[in-house]
Amino acid sequence: MSEQHEEHAGPSFQAYMGVFYALCVCTALSFVVNYFVDHVMGQKLMSASIIMAVAVVKATLVAGIFMHLKFDWGKLYCIILPVCVVTVMMVIILSIDATLAWHASPESAVPMIQQK
C-alpha cells in the first residue's frame, strides 16, 4: 500500500531532530518571556502576544513536519482549512456577543434620560 502512495521521501532523520530542537527552544523562549516580560516588566499584552505567536510557530512545526502536512497539504487542505475558518469565526462572533451584548452590562440596555 505504501508504494502506491509514496511520492516523496519524507523528512529525514536530521529534519526530525532539527524540528525537535526548535520546539525545545520555543518552549524555553515562551517560558522566559512569561517570566521577564509579564512578571518583571509587567507588559501583559505584549507577553501574551509573543507567547501565543510562539505557540502558533510550534504548532506549525509539529503539523508541517511531524504530521507530514507540508507534503500532504494539497490533498488535505479542503478538509482542514474550512473547519479552522469556521471554528475561529465562531470564537470571534462569540467574543463580539460577549463584548457588545446589552445583557452583560445592564447600564447600557436602557438609555438613561439625562436630568438637566
Residues that bind other proteins (CB under 8 A): 1-2, 4-5, 7, 10, 13, 16-17, 19-20, 23-24, 27-28, 30-31, 34, 38, 44, 47-48, 51-52, 54-55, 58-59, 62-63, 66-68, 72, 75-76, 79-80, 82-84, 86-91, 93-98, 100-104, 109
* Beta carbon nearer to other proteins, 6 or 116: 6
Q: Cell 531532530 belongs to which residue?
A: 17
Cα–Cα distance measured from residue 1 to residue 24, given in angstroms and rounded to the nearest whole number? 35
User: Across 38-106, where does the E strand assignment appear?
Assistant: none
All residues at 6 or more sequence positions from 109 whose CB lies less than 8 Å from its CB, including other chains:
102, 103
Minimum distance of other proteins from residue 96's CB (angstroms)? 6
* Beta carbon nearer to other proteins, 41 or 76: 76
Minimum distance of other proteins from residue 114's CB (angstroms)? 22
Minimum distance of other proteins from residue 115's CB (angstroms)? 26
For residue 104, give the nearest of 94, 114, 112 by alpha carbon: 94
Minimum distance of other proteins from residue 110's CB (angstroms)? 12
- Residue 10 sits at the vertex; the CA angle it makes with 9 and 11, to the nearest 5 degrees, is 125
Which secondary-structure segment (H or E) carries 7? none
* Beta carbon nearer to other proteins, 21 or 115: 21
